[in-house]
């Protein structure tokens, strides 16, 4: 279950790992426009193995677009994305299908609105990616999927359809579906913002458990307390740029940039 390999010499949870040559994810100069609207100006970031990067910032600042570019759901217009030593994309020229597939294979996204297939059961939702896209043996994936569903307390719901589940249960399926892809990087897009307040804590606890197990993550969140407790780095995004990044405890208490200060002031 744990994604870290103790024999991997590049594996490190040191704070400096994100900027070290062995960083799991490294993004440089990422740009993206939708028509005339340049949403990402030039985004640089890095995530070390076992690190959790929290992206915070105002609505419309480009946080979701960053995640979607990392996962290949959106095609960046420029810049580079490197994942470990294996995937290296320079969006100066359009990537091949093979390169994009390799990028998609390295990360898995957990969506704000869960995005489960409504006409598939819980188990079918979890099996779809590993069996159909990754072409792994169904029996092996099913055993893993059932163990993951058991872990999040949803074994009894394996044959239910998404509409029969609460929002919290649907999001747990969303997380299991991401884990079943065995990604190197988990991407969370405001995973609790569609949930009733009493269900938020459960999902945040589950994400925290995954962080403690050593999963590497990028998480877009408005939950500052969670970011302070779980993230190894926090980045403030505004106007399609990373305006400031640093240690969550230090930055959330005492930001250097005025824009960060104003944003945090509005939230607190
Ligand atoms: P955030 O996650 O910080 O709220 P987004 O990345 O969702 O920000 O959006 C940034 C900007 O990009 C917004 O102005 C949004 O309207 C625009 N945008 C996002 N996705 C699309 C799209 N598919 N087509 C056109 N505009 C988009």
Tens digits of pLDDT across the chain (268 residues): 555 443 343 344 444 444 555 699 999 999 999 999 999 999 999 999 999 999 999 999 999 999 999 999 999 999 999 999 889 999 999 999 999 999 999 999 999 999 999 999 999 999 999 999 999 999 999 999 999 999 999 999 999 999 999 999 999 999 999 999 999 999 999 999 999 999 999 999 999 999 999 999 999 999 999 999 999 999 999 999 999 999 999 999 999 999 999 999 988 7
Tokens linked to 125: 């939702």
Q: Is the ipTM of this complex over 0.95?
A: yes
- What is the helix (H) or strand (E) element at residue 107, kind and residue range? strand 107-110
Atom of ligand 1 nearest to the CA of 66: 6
What predicted TM-score, i.e. pTM, was given to this entire model?
0.92
* Ligand 1 center from residue 13 Cα (angstroms): 32
Ligand 1 in reach of 62 Cβ (< 6 A): yes
Ligand 1 in reach of 221 Cβ (< 6 A): no
Closest CA to 223 of 243, 203, 246, 244: 203
Ligand 1 in reach of 34 Cβ (< 6 A): yes
H-type alpha helices, the chain = 63-70, 97-106, 122-127, 138-151, 167-180, 197-213, 224-230, 248-253, 258-267
Q: How many whole angstroms from its chain centre is CA 76?
A: 17
Ligand 1 in reach of 39 Cβ (< 6 A): yes
Residues pairing with 187 in the sheet: 109, 218
């Amino acid at each position: 279950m744990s994604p870290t390999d103790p024999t991997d010499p590049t594996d490190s949870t040191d704070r400096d790992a994100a900027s070290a040559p062995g960083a799991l994810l490294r993004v440089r100069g990422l740009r993206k426009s939708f028509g005339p609207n340049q949403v990402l100006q030039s985004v640089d970031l890095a995530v070390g193995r076992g690190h959790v990067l929290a992206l915070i910032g105002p609505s419309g600042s480009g946080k979701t677009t960053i995640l979607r570019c990392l996962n290949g759901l959106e095609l960046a217009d420029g810049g580079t994305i490197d994942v470990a030593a294996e995937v290296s994309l320079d969006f100066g020229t359009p990537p091949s299908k093979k390169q994009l597939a390799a990028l998609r294979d390295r990360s898995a996204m957990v969506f704000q609105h869960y995005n489960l297939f409504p006409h598939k059961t819980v188990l079918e939702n979890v099996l779809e990616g590993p069996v159909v896209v990754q072409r792994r043996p169904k029996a092996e994936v099913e055993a893993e999927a059932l163990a993951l569903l058991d872990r999040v307390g949803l074994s009894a719901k394996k044959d239910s359809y998404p509409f029969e589940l609460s929002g919290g249960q649907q999001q747990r399926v969303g997380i299991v579906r991401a884990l079943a892809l065995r990604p190197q990087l988990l991407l969370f897009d405001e995973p609790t913002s569609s949930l009733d307040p009493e269900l938020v804590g459960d999902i945040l606890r589950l994400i925290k458990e995954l962080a403690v197990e050593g999963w590497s993550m990028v998480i877009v969140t408005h939950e500052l307390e969670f970011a302070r407790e779980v993230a190894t780095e926090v980045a403030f995004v505004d106007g399609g740029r990373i305006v400031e990044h640093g240690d969550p405890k230090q930055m959330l208490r005492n930001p250097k940039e005025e824009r960060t200060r104003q944003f945090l002031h509005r939230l607190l």
